[in-house]
Amino acid sequence: MNVIKRNNVIVSGKGTDPMMFAHGFGCDQNMWRFVAPQFADAYQIILFDHVGAGQSDLNAFDYDKYKI
Protein backbone atom coordinates (compact mmCIF):
# COMPACT_ATOMS: atom_id res chain seq x y z
CA MET A 1 0.00 0.00 0.00
CA ASN A 2 1.14 3.52 -0.76
CA VAL A 3 2.13 5.17 2.55
CA ILE A 4 1.32 8.63 1.15
CA LYS A 5 -2.29 7.66 0.56
CA ARG A 6 -2.61 5.41 3.62
CA ASN A 7 -1.53 8.15 6.02
CA ASN A 8 -2.96 11.13 4.09
CA VAL A 9 0.49 12.72 3.85
CA ILE A 10 0.58 16.38 2.83
CA VAL A 11 3.89 18.04 1.96
CA SER A 12 4.16 21.81 1.69
CA GLY A 13 6.51 24.65 2.51
CA LYS A 14 9.33 26.44 0.74
CA GLY A 15 12.35 25.12 2.63
CA THR A 16 14.51 22.09 1.96
CA ASP A 17 14.91 20.85 5.53
CA PRO A 18 11.91 18.75 6.59
CA MET A 19 9.79 19.39 9.67
CA MET A 20 7.25 16.67 10.45
CA PHE A 21 4.22 17.27 12.62
CA ALA A 22 2.69 14.23 14.36
CA HIS A 23 -0.62 14.43 16.19
CA GLY A 24 -1.60 12.64 19.37
CA PHE A 25 -4.29 10.09 20.13
CA GLY A 26 -7.78 11.21 19.18
CA CYS A 27 -6.58 14.00 16.88
CA ASP A 28 -5.59 14.42 13.25
CA GLN A 29 -3.25 16.66 11.28
CA ASN A 30 -5.81 19.44 11.39
CA MET A 31 -4.51 20.31 14.87
CA TRP A 32 -1.42 21.85 13.22
CA ARG A 33 -3.36 24.25 10.95
CA PHE A 34 -2.25 27.35 12.88
CA VAL A 35 1.26 26.16 13.77
CA ALA A 36 2.65 24.62 10.57
CA PRO A 37 2.21 27.72 8.37
CA GLN A 38 4.53 29.64 10.68
CA PHE A 39 7.39 27.36 9.60
CA ALA A 40 6.51 27.09 5.89
CA ASP A 41 8.97 29.72 4.67
CA ALA A 42 11.96 27.97 6.24
CA TYR A 43 11.03 24.26 6.14
CA GLN A 44 9.43 21.56 4.06
CA ILE A 45 6.32 20.82 6.15
CA ILE A 46 5.14 17.21 6.40
CA LEU A 47 1.72 16.51 7.87
CA PHE A 48 0.16 13.07 8.19
CA ASP A 49 -2.61 11.18 9.95
CA HIS A 50 -1.78 8.12 11.98
CA VAL A 51 -3.56 5.01 10.69
CA GLY A 52 -7.10 5.04 12.03
CA ALA A 53 -7.25 8.81 12.46
CA GLY A 54 -8.40 11.72 10.33
CA GLN A 55 -8.36 11.11 6.59
CA SER A 56 -6.04 8.09 6.75
CA ASP A 57 -7.16 4.86 5.09
CA LEU A 58 -9.34 3.43 7.85
CA ASN A 59 -9.22 -0.01 6.20
CA ALA A 60 -5.48 -0.11 7.00
CA PHE A 61 -6.22 -0.06 10.74
CA ASP A 62 -5.64 -3.47 12.33
CA TYR A 63 -7.20 -3.78 15.80
CA ASP A 64 -4.88 -6.64 16.77
CA LYS A 65 -1.77 -4.73 15.72
CA TYR A 66 -2.72 -1.48 17.44
CA LYS A 67 -4.50 -2.76 20.55
CA ILE A 68 -3.41 -1.37 23.86
Whether 66 shows a pLDDT value over 90: the answer reads no
64 located within any domain: no
34 located within any domain: yes
Query: With bands split at pLDDT 50, 70 and 90, how would you rate the model's confidence at 64?
Result: confident
**Collapsed DSSP state (helix, strand, coil) of residue 4:** helix
14 located within any domain: yes
d(CA 6, CA 66): 15
DSSP state of 64: H
Query: With bands split at pLDDT 50, 70 and 90, how would you rate the model's confidence at 54?
Result: very high
**Number of residues that this document lists for the chain:** 68
Query: With bands split at pLDDT 50, 70 and 90, how would you rate the model's confidence at 67?
Result: confident
d(CA 6, CA 42): 27
9 located within any domain: yes
Neighbour count for residue 29 (Cβ, 10 Å): 23
15 located within any domain: yes
Q: What is the number of structural domains in the chain? A: 1
Provide the domain limits for residue 44: 3-54
46 located within any domain: yes
